[in-house]
Amino acid sequence: MNAALLPLVVMVPLISAALLAAVPGPRWLRGVLLLAPNLGALAAGVLLIQATADGSVYAHGIALWQDGIAIPFVVDVFSALMVTTTALLTVTCSAFAIATGEDRARFFGSLVLVLSAGVYGALLTGDLFNLFVFIEVMLLPSYGLLAMAGALRSLRGGRIYVTVNLLTSTIFLAGVALVYGVAGTVHLGELIGAARESPLVAAAMAVVLLALSIKAAVVPVHGWLARTYPATSPAVTALFSGLHTKVAIYAIYRLYALLFEGDATYLWIGLVAFTVTMAIGVLGAVGENTTRSILVFHMISQIGYILLGVALFTPLGLMAGIFYLIHHMIVKASLFLSTGAIENAYGTSRLDRLGGIARREPILALVFMGAALSLAGLPPFSGFVAKLTLVSATFEAGQWIVAAVAVAVSLITLMSMLKIWGGPFWGTEPDSDGRSDREVRSGSAPGGVSAPARPTVQPKVRPAVLFPALVLTTATLCIGLGAEVLLDLSAQAASGLLDPAAYLEAVTNR
């Protein structure tokens, strides 16, 4: 593999974003410019997985400048898996936006492309400062996408999002400066094991990890996510759910493995924080009354599951965490897109204003139920493999309480998903008078008059709107049925985190 081609994964979306901003139409051309770069990244990601599946690591510094000047690009099987999943989610969410007409906004496509370029760069860089830069490249278009929804709720959500992320970015940059001040470098290859050997570097890296934990929405710094994600459009919520917090999670895995080399001294902090995140997140979903707000709190809960892998820092724990990360990116985006299709067609996501969707939209109901069962961890979907492997890892590490919490949270997750199923999907459809599901179920209209029988109605969700969620639910089913493939790749990625020798050799001998 020619490592010199790695920067193209970032450059092509950026160039396409500029072209898209300059091209006023026609719409089909704008759609091609939006989808093609990420389809190319998807193909590149698959090739990168093939090239790195044996444990190989490839590195390249832009223009062959020396370290400290060049932007170092590094790819191993972990980052290759993340690039592939990111590209898949960006394509499906963009297709959903095209189907719902959201892409008609003048700069929507350009902002999505710049966002994806920032994510690819963050996943592939081998330098702490450039990680900060690419995360900022990811965040800047996100502010615009949040504001595009236009409603007052979006503006309030956007204000919270911008405030929290500006503060977090400041903390992140301060942490990077501290690392440079005490270690004299921010190149990851030169920082391997530095935090384990030096308490000063460990303290500086703690500032960086704090910033990443806020971006990942770990409890108790999770409130911003619950307030902002439901405030934007369904396509943008699905895109953010699959990319933003996951970049922070990826960085936590990468940085703790390289700089701390799995130092067990600090792992108990992660075990406590991530176990609490699992529990608080799912309990927050219990009191919510819209599909999107329930899914957002589930997302916080699942972040705790994913990060348990790095807190255990055993071969099985890391493998389970990486598998869970890939599974969750796909499943959560599918759930947001399927409920987003309902919101787009019916104009609301409130549980008490929806009903009968399973009878009116049977394929959509199957798509949602498949992803919901996967999120809850039931077979044959990927969520079953992810949770079984993770709970096995906690048992293997002797963390019985963590395992018990993980199982209990999984049951509560299933119950709250049934809350969505029993209301919007299986509940009685509200009538044209706007009566709620509860009122209709009572069988009487206001004033004690019996409710008339409703005529049969046609589906409202168009196939083009449903298709992206269908693709992702099918993906989680395929991953569950053929779990051995992703488990093997996750095991190889975990091996690379446990032993960074190949990473060090690649970045020093490029």
The predicted-structure confidence for 302-349, as pLDDT tens digits, reads as follows 999 999 999 999 999 999 999 999 999 999 999 999 999 998 888 888
Mean pLDDT calculated for residue range 170-188:
94
Going from N- to C-terminal start, the domains of the chain cover 264-429+461-498
- pLDDT computed for residue 434 by the predictor: 53
Residues 220-227: what's their mean pLDDT?
86
pLDDT of residue 62: 80
Q: Residue 410's closest CA among 376, 383, 381?
A: 376
pTM (predicted TM-score): 0.92
Strands (E), 28-154: 58-61, 72-75
Are 247 and 119 contacting, i.e. CB atoms less than 8 angstroms apart?
Answer: yes
Mean residue pLDDT across the chain: 88
| Percentage of the chain modeled with pLDDT above 90 | 58
What is the DSSP secondary-structure string of 318-372? Answer: HHHHHHHHHHHHHHHHHHHHHHHHHHHHHS--BGGG---HHHH-HHHHHHHHHHH
Task: Of 140, 135, 142, give the one whose Cα is nearest residue 118.
Answer: 135
Residue 169 scores a pLDDT above 80: yes
Alpha-carbon distance of 292 to 237, in angstroms, equals 9
Q: What is the DSSP string of 430-497?
A: P-TT---HHHHHTTB-TTSPBPPPPPP----S-HHHHHHHHHHHHHHHHHHHTHHHHHHHHHHHHHHH
Q: Structure tokens of 365?
A: 């109901």
pLDDT for 284: 87
**What per-residue confidence (pLDDT) applies to 445?**
47
**DSSP letter, residue 105:** S
DSSP 57: -
Per-residue pLDDT, averaged over 94-117, amounts to: 92
Residue range 420-457, pLDDT digits in tens: 888 888 877 776 555 554 555 555 444 444 445 555 56
pLDDT tens across 342-358, in order? 988 888 888 888 888 88
